[in-house]
A and B are shown apart, each in its own frame.
Chain A
Amino acid sequence: MRRWASPVLQGLVLAAAVVLIVLLPRFTSEFRLGQFTYVGIYFIALLGLNILTGYNGQISLGHAAFMAIGGYTAAILILGQKGFELAGHDPAQVIPEHGMRALFTIPIAGLVTGVIGYLFGLPALRLAAVSLALATLAVAVSFPALAKRFEHLTGGGGGLSLPLPHAPFGWDISTPHWLYYEAWVTAAILFVVAWLLVRGRVGRAWRAIRDGEIAAVSSGVSPAVYKTLAFGISAAYAGVAGALFAIQVSYINPDTFPVTLSILLLASVVIGGLSSLSGVIVGALVLEFLPIYAQAPPVLHLNFAKQAGPVVFGFVLMVIVLLVPGGMASLIRRITRPLTAALARKA
C-alpha cells in the first residue's frame, strides 16, 4: 500500500508547488518577483548540474562557464551585427546580421551550450572524479580571460547591453511578470524532461555508471555514451539558464558568471540533495535567499557585511556533508515519512 501512497503525496506536493508558482505574482512586489525569477533560473541550472553530479557522479565546478556560453549566445543573437555596431563594437563575421527575438534565442543557447558541453565531456571521460573537478574549476576560472580576449564576439570587458525585454505577441503584462513566467514555464518544461530522463532507461544507465562503472560495463552499458550525454544535457540546461539570466539583467560581461557562482551552484545542489529532483527547488531557494538573509537576518534587525553570505553558505554546506549526506531532500523525506506511512495505513 505504501507503493501508491508516496506517489499520491508527491503529486499533491507538486500540484501545490505549481499553484503557488502561478499565483505568486499576485501577492508579491515586483522586486520580490525579480528574486523569484532568479530562483527559476537557478532551478534550471541546478537541474542540469544534478543530472551530471547527482545522477551520473561527475563533479563540475565549471557550470557558471556553461551559463556564460548560453548567455553570450543569447546576447549575440539578440543584438546581431547591427546591434554590435550600434553599441560601438566591431562584430565578428560569424554573427548573424540581424538580431532575433529574445525568446527564440533561449533554445538555441541551450543547443549551442549542449554541443560544447558534449565536446568537453569527451576529454572528461578520461578524468577521475577529483581531476574532473579540477579541470572544470580551471575552465570556470579562465573563462573571463577568454571572454575578454575575443572581443569581436563578446564585446570584451565592457560587456554587451541588451535591449530591455518586454512581453512578445502584444501581451499586456509588465516586463517583470513576463520574465517571471518565461523563466518558470521554461523551468517546468525542463523539469518534466529531466524527470522523464531520470526515471527511464537513460537515468538507469547514469545511476548504474555512478554506482559502479565496471558493473555497468559488464551489463552492456557504455560509460562513454552515457557520460558524454549527461555532460551535454547538463550543459544545455546551464546554457538555457544563462540565456534567461542575460535576458533578465539585459546585460552581460565576462564577470556576469563568476567562478564563485560555479562553486555555489555545486554547493546548492549538495545542500538541496544529490540525485533528488525535489531537492533542486530547495537548492535554488537557498542559492537566491541564503546570502540575502545571512547578511540581514529577518526579525533580528542585524546587518552584517556582504561576506556573511558566503560564510554561512560554506558552513551550511559543511554541516550538510557531515550530518545530512542526502541533503535537505532527505531531511524533508525523514520528516514526512510518518505522514506518508499514516496515509498508507488508512488506505
Chain B
Amino acid sequence: MALPLAVVWSQVAQQVTSGLAAGAIYASLALALVLIYQTTNVVNFAQGEMATFTTYIAWTIMNHGVAYWPAFVLTLLIAFGGGVTVERVLIRPVEHRPELVIVILTIGMLIAINGLTGWIWGPEVKAFDSPFPNRSVIVGGVAISIQDIGTFCVCLGTVVVLWLFFRFTTLGLAMRSVAFNPDASRLMGVRVGWMLALGWGFAAALGAVAGMMAAPTVFLDPDMMLVILIYAFAAAVLGGIDSPVGAVVGGLLLGVVINLLGSYVDFVGQELRLPTALAVLLLVLVIRPRGLFGRVVVRRV
C-alpha cells in the first residue's frame, strides 16, 4: 500500500456512502416487493415498470411548472391510486388461482406497461431533476455528495413513515393481520380484499419513491427500472422475501457490497456488477433460501 491509510479510508468511506444511497433505492423497491409477497405470496414482476411509469408522470407534472416537492407528493398519490386499481381490476379475479398464473399475469403487466411508457413518452432518454444540490459536504475528511444523503433520507424516511403506519394505526394493524392470517382476519371483520388492495397501493407508492430517486442518476428511460428491479429482487431474497426488515437491510447491504466490489475488485469492475448481484441471489437461494431474516416455511405433506 503506497497510499497513506487516511486517503484509503476516505475513499472507502465515500464508496460506502454512495453504496448506501443506491442501496436505499434498492431497499424501497425490495420493500414494495415484500409488501405484496407477504399478502399474496406472489412476486410482482411489474413493480419496476409501475415505478418507471409513475416517474414519467412526475416528469410530466414538473414539466407543467409544478415545483419538485408538490409534484413528488402528487405522484405518490397517483401511484397509490394506480396500485389499488391494478389490484382491484387485474389481480382480484385470479386471487385464488395457482401462483404461476398470477406471476404470468404480472409479467403481462410488465410487457404492457413498458410498451405503454415508451409509446406515450417516446424511447429517448430524458433528464430528471434532482431536488438536491449537486455539491458535496466534507464530514471527517470524507466528501459525501448531498445527492446521496438526500436520496438515502427520502427513501429511508418513507420506510419509517410506513413502519409507523403499520405499527401504530388500526388500519396498519388490520393490514398486518391480513398478511398473518387472512381467514382469521375475515372472521374478525377485517375487509381482506380492500387490505390487499391497500397493500398494492403502498407498494406502488414505494416504487414511485424509488423511481424518482433513481431517475436523476440513471436518467429517465422506459427500461430504467429493469436493472434496479433485479437488484431489488436480490435484496429482497437476501433479506428474506417475507421480511420487511430484511428487505431494507438486504437492500442497503447489497448496495454497499456491490459498490465496494465494483470499485476494488478488478475482475468485477463496472461491467460485472449486475452478474455479481445475480451470483448473490443464486447463492442465497441455494444455501439459505429463507434469507437473513425470513421465516422457515414448513410444508405439510
- Given A134-B233, A307-B116, verify A263-B274 contact (CB < 8 Å): no
What separation, in Å, do the CA atoms of A15 and B281 have in the docked complex? 47
For the complex, is A347 an interface residue (Cβ under 8 Å from B)?
no
| B contacts, CB < 8 Å to A | 41-43, 45, 90, 93-94, 97, 99-101, 103-105, 107-116, 118-119, 123, 226-227, 230, 233-234, 237, 241, 271-272, 274-275, 277-278, 281-282, 285-286, 289, 301
Q: Which of A29-37, A136-144, A230-238 contacts B (4 or more CB under 8 A)?
A: A136-144
**Contact with A130, one of B103, B271, B275 (Cβ below 8 angstroms):** B103
For the complex, is A311 an interface residue (Cβ under 8 Å from B)?
yes
Q: What distance in Å separates the Cβ of B106 from its nearest Cβ neighbour in chain A?
A: 9
Name 16 interchain pairs, CB-CB below 8 A, sorted by A. A130-B43, A134-B233, A141-B226, A141-B274, A142-B274, A264-B111, A267-B104, A267-B108, A311-B119, A314-B112, A317-B105, A317-B108, A321-B94, A321-B104, A322-B90, A322-B94
What separation, in Å, do the CA atoms of A141 and B278 have in the docked complex? 9
For the complex, is A315 an interface residue (Cβ under 8 Å from B)?
yes
Question: Which residues 285-344 of A have a CB within 8 angstroms of B?
Answer: 304-311, 313-315, 317-318, 321-322, 325
- Given A307-B119, A314-B110, A321-B104, verify A131-B285 contact (CB < 8 Å): yes
Chain B residues with CB under 8 A of A207? none
Chain A residues with CB under 8 A of B237? 131, 134
> Mostly helix, strand, loop or mixed at chain A's interface?
helix
**Contact with B230, one of A141, A304, A305, A321 (Cβ below 8 angstroms):** A141
**Contact with B112, one of A137, A146, A315 (Cβ below 8 angstroms):** A315
Report yes or no: A321 in contact with B101, Cβ–Cβ below 8 A: yes
Report yes or no: B115 in contact with A146, Cβ–Cβ below 8 A: no
Can you add 14 more A-B contacts, CB < 8 Å, to A131-B289, A146-B275, A267-B104? A123-B285, A129-B99, A133-B45, A142-B277, A264-B111, A304-B119, A307-B118, A309-B115, A310-B112, A314-B109, A317-B108, A318-B105, A321-B104, A322-B93
For the complex, is A101 an interface residue (Cβ under 8 Å from B)?
no
Chain A residues with CB under 8 A of B90? 318, 322
Chain A residues with CB under 8 A of B119? 304-305, 307-308, 311
What separation, in Å, do the CA atoms of A146 and B301 have in the docked complex? 41
For the complex, is A149 an interface residue (Cβ under 8 Å from B)?
yes
For the complex, is A270 an interface residue (Cβ under 8 Å from B)?
yes
Chain A residues with CB under 8 A of B97? 325
Chain A residues with CB under 8 A of B111? 263-264, 267, 310-311, 313-314, 317
Report yes or no: A310 in contact with B114, Cβ–Cβ below 8 A: yes
What separation, in Å, do the CA atoms of A145 and B275 have in the docked complex? 7
Chain A residues with CB under 8 A of B114? 310, 314
Q: What distance in Å separates the Cβ of A258 from its nearest Cβ neighbour in chain B?
A: 10
Report yes or no: B43 in contact with A133, Cβ–Cβ below 8 A: yes
Report yes or no: B281 in contact with A311, Cβ–Cβ below 8 A: no
Q: What distance in Å separates the Cβ of B273 from its nearest Cβ neighbour in chain A?
A: 8
Chain A residues with CB under 8 A of B110? 263, 314
Report yes or no: A135 in contact with B285, Cβ–Cβ below 8 A: yes
**Contact with A321, one of B105, B116, B289 (Cβ below 8 angstroms):** B105
Closest 3 CB pairs of A and B: A314-B112, A310-B115, A314-B111
Report yes or no: A318 in contact with B230, Cβ–Cβ below 8 A: no
Chain B residues with CB under 8 A of A59? 100, 103-104
Chain B residues with CB under 8 A of A321? 94, 101, 104-105, 108
For the complex, is A61 an interface residue (Cβ under 8 Å from B)?
yes
Report yes or no: A141 in contact with B123, Cβ–Cβ below 8 A: no
- Given A138-B233, A311-B115, A321-B105, verify A145-B271 contact (CB < 8 Å): yes
Chain B residues with CB under 8 A of A304? 119
Mark A102-118 against chain B: 1 for CB-CB distance below 8 A, else 0. Answer: 00000000000000000
Interface centre among B108, B271, B289 (most CB of A within 10 A): B108
Chain A residues with CB under 8 A of B41? 130
Interface centre among B112, B226, B234 (most CB of A within 10 A): B112
Chain A residues with CB under 8 A of B108? 267, 314-315, 317-318, 321
- Given A146-B272, A314-B109, verify A138-B234 contact (CB < 8 Å): yes
For the complex, is A259 an interface residue (Cβ under 8 Å from B)?
yes
Report yes or no: A127 in contact with B277, Cβ–Cβ below 8 A: no
Interface centre among A61, A145, A313, A315 (most CB of B within 10 A): A145
For the complex, is A148 an interface residue (Cβ under 8 Å from B)?
yes
Give B97's nearest chain A residue, CB to CB: A325
Chain A residues with CB under 8 A of B241? 131
Report yes or no: A317 in contact with B107, Cβ–Cβ below 8 A: yes
Chain A residues with CB under 8 A of B103? 59, 129-130, 133
Interface centre among B101, B271, B272, B285 (most CB of A within 10 A): B285
Chain A residues with CB under 8 A of B101? 321, 325
Chain B residues with CB under 8 A of A310? 111-112, 114-115, 118
Give B276's nearest chain A residue, CB to CB: A142
